[in-house]
């Protein structure tokens, strides 16, 4: 059988892009991913967390996590991605989106794992599990407490009513506006308005890549005060201008 395991449980790949790439995985990651950033840098944004990735970083994306990723590079963007469904071990718990503390030994091991798509050899799996035995002690678990549940409720309200005021959102969640603001910032690290802008930017990106509407028209539809302000907010949250986003999708 050529000592190869060919199925849908693993997908090891060396991804390469040029200049900029956007990925929408808001419906959920299909696998767990251990990854190594070889060239370029990236930003990964989930409902509860944003991580910034630079060259040499090792990071982890858990299965079923909804997220968006933005990849940047002057000439080339490349990263090693090792997708797997489960570890068949007690450590296979619900981990969080995270960067791992820098460890050159682990990074060197990851670089030496072959990237053969779904045709994963037994020797390759041996190398991968050896790395995972080193990685698991660093991984942090995702936990939900009362504050996180409240913040999730706030996020749902903002997504459903992105043009409502914070006072209106607070009333929907039956909490005070000051408490909404302080709790949201404490749990997520960003303000409720930043989160609202992220939602509007996602809507804007969808319009940019699926329609030929003018920037000013999109800005007006999203209730931005002007096209220039929409460009400014979009650049802040995605790192790209409307033109760059449309160009990346060859619209």
The per-residue pLDDT for range 191-243, each reduced to its tens digit, is 999 999 989 998 898 899 888 899 999 999 999 999 999 999 998 888 888 98
Mean of pLDDT values over 4-20: 78
Sign of torsion over alpha carbons 219, 190, 239, 161: negative
Give the containing element (helix H, strand E) for 67. strand 67-72
Q: Is 60 exceeded by the pLDDT of residue 5?
A: no
Final residue before a domain boundary, out of 102, 117, 138: 138
117 and 46 within one domain: yes
130 and 48 within one domain: yes
Question: Is the Cβ–Cβ distance between 78 and 19 less than 8 Å?
Answer: no
- The residue written with tokens 């409240």 in the block is 150
Please, what is the average pLDDT of the chain? 87
pTM of the model: 0.60
133 and 53 within one domain: yes
- The residue written with tokens 């907010």 in the block is 233
Distance CA(208)–CA(202), nearest Å, equals 10
CATH classification at residue 204 = 1.10.10.60
- State residue 251's pLDDT score: 37
The shares of helix, strand and coil residues in the chain, as percent rounded to the nearest 5, are 40, 25, 35
The per-residue pLDDT for range 135-187, each reduced to its tens digit, is 988 888 766 678 888 988 899 899 899 999 999 999 999 999 999 999 999 98
Q: Is 80 exceeded by the pLDDT of residue 3?
A: no
Distance CA(197)–CA(138), nearest Å, equals 32
Quick count: other Cβ atoms within 10 Å of Cβ 195? 19
216 and 169 within one domain: yes
177 and 58 within one domain: no
- State residue 92's pLDDT score: 46
Phi, psi of 37 (to 5 degrees): -85, 110
14 and 121 within one domain: yes
239 and 182 within one domain: yes
Domain that includes residue 101, residue range: 4-138
Structure tokens at 231: 């460009």
123 and 205 within one domain: no
- Total domains in the fold of the chain: 2
């Amino acid at each position: 059988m050529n000592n190869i395991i060919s199925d849908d449980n693993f997908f090891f790949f060396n991804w390469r892009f040029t200049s900029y790439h956007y990925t929408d995985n808001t419906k959920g990651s299909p696998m767990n991913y251990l990854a190594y950033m070889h060239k370029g840098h990236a930003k990964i944004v989930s409902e509860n967390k944003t991580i910034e990735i630079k060259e040499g970083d090792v990071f982890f994306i858990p299965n079923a996590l909804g997220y968006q990723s933005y990849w940047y590079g002057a000439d080339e963007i490349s990263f090693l991605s090792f997708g797997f469904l489960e570890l068949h071990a007690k450590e296979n718990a619900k981990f969080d989106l995270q960067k791992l503390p820098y460890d050159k030994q682990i990074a060197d091991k990851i670089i030496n794992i072959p990237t053969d798509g779904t045709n994963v050899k037994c020797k390759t799996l041996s190398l991968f599990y050896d790395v995972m035995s080193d990685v698991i002690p660093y991984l942090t678990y995702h936990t939900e407490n009362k504050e996180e549940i409240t913040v999730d409720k706030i996020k749902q309200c903002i997504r459903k009513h992105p043009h409502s005021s914070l006072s209106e959102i607070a009333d929907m969640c039956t909490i005070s506006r000051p408490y909404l603001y302080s709790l949201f910032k404490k749990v997520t690290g960003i303000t409720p308005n930043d989160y609202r802008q992220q939602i509007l930017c996602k809507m804007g990106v969808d319009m940019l890549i699926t329609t030929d509407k003018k920037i000013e028209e999109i800005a007006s539809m999203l209730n931005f005060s002007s096209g220039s302000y929409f460009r400014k907010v979009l650049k802040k949250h995605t790192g790209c201008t409307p033109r760059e986003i449309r160009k990346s999708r060859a619209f």
